[in-house]
Amino acid sequence: MTDSTIGAEEQSGGRRGRGARRAARAGGGPSPQMPYIRRAIRVYEVLDEEGLALIERNADIVLEEIGIEFRDDAEALAMWKAAGADVRESRVHFPKGLCRTLLKTAPPVFTQHARNPERSVQIGGNATVFAPVYGPPFVLDLDGQRRYATIEDFRNFAKLAYMAPAIHHNGGTLCEPVDVPVNKRHLDMVHAHMTLSDKPFMGSVTAPERAADTVEMCRILFGETFVDNNCVVINLINANSPMVFDETMLGAAKVYARANQATIVTPFILSGAMSPVTVAGTLTQVLAEVLAGAAFTQLCRPGAPVVFGTFASSISMQSGAPTFGTPEPSLVSYGAAQLARRLGLPFRTGGSLCASKVPDAQAAYESANTLNSTLLAGTNFVLHAAGWLEGGLASSYDKFIMDIDQLGMAQKMADGVDLSENGQAMDAIREVGPGSHYLGCAHTQANFQSAFYRSNIADNNSYEQWQVEGEKRAEQRANEIARQWLGMYEAPALDEGIREALDAFVAQKKSGMPDAFT
């Protein structure tokens, strides 16, 4: 899975690849799938050794003196007590070094397997994996209406994620299917990811039994032994910042870690509300929370994959509303990535975040600012990489399509500068010489196909041509592409026996409990 010699062309093999190539020839379909990113460029760092050591010392003080709450979970507290922590009611105080010692069993790099081995991803090291938006209860639909999301929307986003070339991972709660009972949604969502896509995906974390259902479905899809020995699902375990883990998240974390599946321990922070208003203070709290939560997964099962997660934005000091794409969260991302690397854990942050209600310039400025820092920070797993709108309250079809174009650019950027003889292009400079042009020279012709990133959203034509074509804005072009792709979607092949077993599991589970809507 981590074989960096697998090229984009090979990755598009199989039934899906043929469909995509057919569509691409017909014009307008998605370009070939891209394998997960292996960054050839270096990371950007905002903190020096001194600053990093300072924040680490401060986080140790937080862990020891203030402590972290593990609420309403007697088992978790008992586990911490047995591990040597000082437990006072639900507050756990950590002797200096305890969490770091526990984390020595956590892998710095691991593979999350997809049912199509060509779509398996490396998480950690020089890999970057893009996954779609997670969690919005609303959609901005294809007709421009904002409304509650449905399971049909969910399936549409699962299809688009599957088709999107620079989306390497199908994600999790692409939107909340509020037309499905709360206690049954996870079954439909996991089923959709498993059947509509062959990329890796995320599991349910909203209750321990839903996490257990996810693991059961993974065993149907991948086989029981394979699941026990390999990571096949990754799961978002949010801290309830500041400095609290609650029973829901702890319950899901226990299920997944004990099943040897990956967790992303993520302080969910809007600075000024859930953390101090400063970058260094936020980094200190983030590090303390991740140390405690990630170490807990190693108490559940040493060696279970765990990711250093950070979701940090700010609030407007006037209104308290969340803000995105501003400088402070970028600085937090850069700094947290450095702390994660020093800790030896894979890192998750960022995405294409914005506060705008529509896919306008605000949405794009904010998303691009976030994505640029996400990439250069050296982020390994990027949730919310496409489709995020309105502070995460809405999944937008149009923005999904615009964002994945930006992800393709980030992927090209990550290749860095080609310094081969062809990259140096001295033959071209010699052939063309002063006062001529490179349009037809041999080197340009030889590199015609791959020379530059090709956007399917950007209109680079003349003003007059753009007028003739209807004076469309970027999101109108994106809307057309979303409709077109959904129209040409073909499901990836799936073994009939597995498909039937998954259907049966979902049907049996659903019939075994009454609908619950809260």
Does position 461 interact with a second copy (CB under 8 A)? The reply is yes
Q: Please, which residue, 409 or 502, has the CB nearer to a second copy?
A: 409
124 torsion bin: left (phi>0), alpha (psi -120 to 50), beta (else): left
Does position 127 interact with a second copy (CB under 8 A)? The reply is no
Q: How far is the CB of 332 from a second copy (least distance, A)?
A: 9
Report the C-alpha gap between 288 and 209 in whole angstroms: 28
Q: Please, which residue, 351 or 391, has the CB nearer to a second copy?
A: 391
Q: How far is the CB of 141 from a second copy (least distance, A)?
A: 14
Q: Report CA Rg, the chain.
A: 23
Read off the tokens for 128. Answer: 């970057």
Report the C-alpha gap between 3 and 26 in whole angstroms: 32
Q: Which residue has the tokens 């697998």?
A: 6
Q: In the range 482-511, which residues lie near a second copy by CB under 8 A?
A: none
Binding residue (CB under 8 A) for a second copy from 331, 345, 386, 404: 331
Please count the residues of the chain. 518
Does position 207 interact with a second copy (CB under 8 A)? The reply is no
Does position 474 interact with a second copy (CB under 8 A)? The reply is yes
Does position 178 interact with a second copy (CB under 8 A)? The reply is no
Does position 88 interact with a second copy (CB under 8 A)? The reply is no
Residue span binding a second copy (CB under 8 A) among the ranges 27-35, 254-262, 299-307, 465-473 = 465-473
Q: In the range 345-374, which residues lie near a second copy by CB under 8 A?
A: 355-369, 372-373
User: Which residues on neighbouring strands pair with residue 69, listed in sequence order?
Assistant: 91, 244
Q: How far is the CB of 207 from a second copy (least distance, A)?
A: 21
Binding residue (CB under 8 A) for a second copy from 20, 62, 194, 482: 62
Rounded to 5 degrees, φ, ψ at 252 are: -65, -40
Rounded to 5 degrees, φ, ψ at 185 are: -55, -45
CB 309 within 8 A of CB 236: yes
CB 306 within 8 A of CB 262: yes
User: Edge to edge, what strands does the sheet with 138-140 contain?
Assistant: 146-148, 138-140, 394-396, 388-389
Q: Please, which residue, 463 or 517, has the CB nearer to a second copy?
A: 463
Q: Please, which residue, 435 or 512, has the CB nearer to a second copy?
A: 435
Q: Please, which residue, 190 or 312, has the CB nearer to a second copy?
A: 312
User: Which residues on neighbouring strands pair with residue 88, listed in sequence order?
Assistant: 91
Q: In the range 220-249, which residues lie near a second copy by CB under 8 A?
A: 240, 242-244
Read off the tokens for 53. Answer: 């050591």
Show the 3-state SS of 203-224: CCCCCHHHHHHHHHHHHHHHCH
Q: How far is the CB of 427 from a second copy (least distance, A)?
A: 9
The dihedral over CA atoms of 365, 152, 134, 256, expressed in degrees to the nearest 10, equals: -160
CB 267 within 8 A of CB 59: no
Q: Please, which residue, 229 or 424, has the CB nearer to a second copy?
A: 424
CB 342 within 8 A of CB 393: no
Q: Please, which residue, 223 or 281, has the CB nearer to a second copy?
A: 281
Binding residue (CB under 8 A) for a second copy from 320, 493, 507, 513: 320
How many residues touch a second copy (CB under 8 A)? 127
Q: In the range 399-458, which residues lie near a second copy by CB under 8 A?
A: 399, 402, 406, 409-410, 412-413, 416-419, 422-426, 428-430, 432-439, 443-444, 447-449, 451-455, 457-458
Angle at 216 between CA 211 and CA 220, to 5 degrees: 145
Q: Please, which residue, 285 or 298, has the CB nearer to a second copy?
A: 285
Q: How far is the CB of 187 from a second copy (least distance, A)?
A: 30
Q: Please, which residue, 195 or 338, has the CB nearer to a second copy?
A: 338
Does position 267 interact with a second copy (CB under 8 A)? The reply is no
